[in-house]
Structure 1
Amino acid sequence: MLQTPNQTVVFLMGPTASGKTNLAIQLADTFKARIISVDSALIYKGMDIGTAKPDKTILEKYPHHLINICNPEDTYSAFDFMRDANKQIETAFKNGETPILVGGTSFYFNALEHGLSNLPESTKASKEKFNQLLHDKSSAILHKDLKKIDPQAANRIHPNDSQRITRALEVFELSGKTLSELQGNKQPSINHPIKKIILMPKRAELHKRIEARFLSMLENGFLEEVKTLKQNPNLHENLPSIRCVGYRQAWQYLNGEISKTDLIEKAIIATRQLCKRQSTWLRNEENALVLATNNIKTTLQFIKPCAHLSS
């Protein structure tokens, strides 16, 4: 069995529907590994179908850490992820495992590799306050509030990006300084060698997979999943969890705001737009193995220079 040294971290990245989970499993079959999810949607409990979460059979055989760690009403920041991922990486090293960080949330990968600005940590009180503000107002109104405080950050952040808007407002309240003032003072996160693998199928192929996958989600009970979420009085469509692609459109459909046809069209378009954003970010990654198809042999050859055969 191939065994990578305990100081190497594998980043397995790619846009949505690129086949990352299958490749991670193949790697875990080849050497002793710890799979760590890098996905801002898979963190939520009860959001399984619409996030394309690996099923129970896969998770029993191949545990994915940092999946199902939050309730949908909870706030979870890049700082939270960086802290939790580092704990998982160190646990992997202690257990003689190679950490395989797999997912599509590029901002999380970037935070791990390059660090984040030295911003104040969220408190329970501040999380509750800004979740309530988001519920009472809307991301668009809060964006206007941010523009008065920190126009530079407001220009960078989309009015619909509720998570980043509330975080910028929270930073100002906790520190008395704007996000723009504090950014740039980054602290390193992990100090281990990183092997980056990017799965990047052709755009036409990704679009086909995205459409087929969403239609399959509907057949497998996605709307029933969202109906269950809607029974939770703490949830509303401005929360980051409900703004995940597919969930927002399903929420609107169940509210009677759009038709079933519109739901399907809007969800597929939103997922393709997410795919485009992810792909754009990934094209700027350096020193990575880029694969158009799942190729375990090429992947292992890329990893092997820092690996040895166990006795």
Structure 2
Amino acid sequence: MNTLLVLLGPTGVGKTEWSLRIAELLKCPILSADSRQIYRGMAIGTAAPTTTQLQHIPHYFVGTLSPEDYYSASEYEREVLSLLPKLYEKNPIVVMTGGSMMYIDAVCKGIDDIPTIDETLRRELQELYRKEGLDPIRQQLKILDPVFYNEVDLKNPKRVIHALEVCLMAGKPYSALRTKPEKERPFRIVKVGFTRNREELYDRINRRVDQMIADGLIEEARGFYSQRHLNSLNTVGYKELFDFFDGNCTPDFAVEKIKQHTRNYARKQLTWFKKDKETFWINLSDKNEDIVNRVMMLLK
């Protein structure tokens, strides 16, 4: 039976390492489910697979788009579902790994039929956001979709702006379009969640940020400074450094904020993923756990 093996978990847990090991054993490709690794030039800040790793195991959805390109979970769903039949012709198992919750849910469960957003409208709302901030966009959303207004994180510009875009394009509330049932897939889905003890996970995150800085994250972020308004760069690791470039903080303070915000994101990911009762969880802190054998048993 054709199978999609989904290896998920919080940032910094070790998904890349284990996905490479498992994909090599299965002799199958890897689909990245990371909403930032898909952009070119952001390899350090997104902890993307290295050039050597990409050459060793075929990867998809890594470094394929310009940071200026618009991309969404619905487009990811469409492209993955179009690609999988071709990949299954060569191997009955494909690995998908990443921590972008919406991307994984889009492929595994389906996403609502959200209209394509007109580029003119998108630019207008982005310009409004740049000039006047998020408040006028929040107020429009409150009028057009009070239900979603009361659910959304009102401090998250990506979510708020997208909801208003949909309201204006569809002519109906965004919340009214988010009620579709889970979609059937013509392949088996096996989800494996990786976790670690909190102290160990946080230590790994902190050390990884230090390594990113050593690898040149500051220089990588500086190269995108003129494009800092792009949604793709509203990302932990870049936005804190942009604040430093603006003169609002010291570099050490920016690095500590990257660590803090990454830890916060890891908690958010775990909360989201833990809601899915179909995920088999493996604690990588358990040194007695035979990780590969456990995953192989789940595939039988």
Normalization by structure 1: what TM-score? 0.89
How many Å separate the matches in 2 of 1:61 and 1:138? 45
Residue matched to 2:6: 11
CA RMSD in angstroms, aligned pairs only:
1.8
2:34 corresponds, among 33, 36, 39, to 39
Which deviations, in whole Å up to 9, do the C-alpha atoms of 1:143-172 show, x marking residues without a partner? 232122212212222223222222211111
1:75 corresponds, among 70, 92, 105, to 70
1:34–1:97 contact (8 Å) kept in structure 2: no
1:114-129 to structure 2, matched below 5 A, reads: 114-129=109-124
How many Å separate the matches in 1 of 2:185 and 2:209? 35
Q: Which residue identity does 1:252 align to in structure 2?
A: D
1:210 matches 2:205: yes
Q: Which residue identity does 2:47 align to in structure 1?
A: A
Rate the CA distance shift 1:62–1:132 in 2: closer, same or farther, 3 A.
farther
Q: Which residue identity does 2:228 align to in structure 1?
A: H
2:270 corresponds, among 279, 287, 308, to 279
Residue matched to 1:309: none
Give the structure, 1 or 2, with the largest relative contact order (CA under 8 Å, sep 6 or more). Answer: 1
How many Å separate the matches in 2 of 1:76 and 1:200? 28
How many Å separate the matches in 2 of 1:135 and 1:189? 41
Which deviations, in whole Å up to 9, do the C-alpha atoms of 1:67-118 show, x marking residues without a partner? 1122222221111111112122222112335221100011211122221222
1:37 Cα deviation (Å)?
A: 0.5
How many Å separate the matches in 2 of 1:227 and 1:15? 27
1:223 matches 2:218: yes
Residue matched to 2:24: 29
1:27 Cα deviation (Å)?
A: 1.2
Residue matched to 1:171: 166
1:132 Cα deviation (Å)?
A: 3.5
1:88 corresponds, among 73, 83, 86, to 83
Q: Which residue identity does 1:49 align to in structure 2?
A: I
1:96-111 to structure 2, matched below 5 A, reads: 96-111=91-106
1:288 matches 2:283: no
How many Å separate the matches in 1 of 2:139 and 2:257? 26
Residue matched to 2:51: 56
Normalization by structure 2: what TM-score? 0.92
1:298 matches 2:288: no
Q: Which residue identity does 2:297 align to in structure 1?
A: Q
- Equivalent position SS for 2:228: coil
1:9–1:194 contact (8 Å) kept in structure 2: yes
2:228 corresponds, among 225, 231, 236, to 236
User: Segments of 4+ in structure 1 off by > 3 A?
Assistant: 123-137
1:113 matches 2:108: yes
2:24–2:57 contact (8 Å) kept in structure 1: no
1:237-276 to structure 2, matched below 5 A, reads: 237=229, 239-276=230-267
Which deviations, in whole Å up to 9, do the C-alpha atoms of 1:9-37 show, x marking residues without a partner? 11110100111111111111111312000
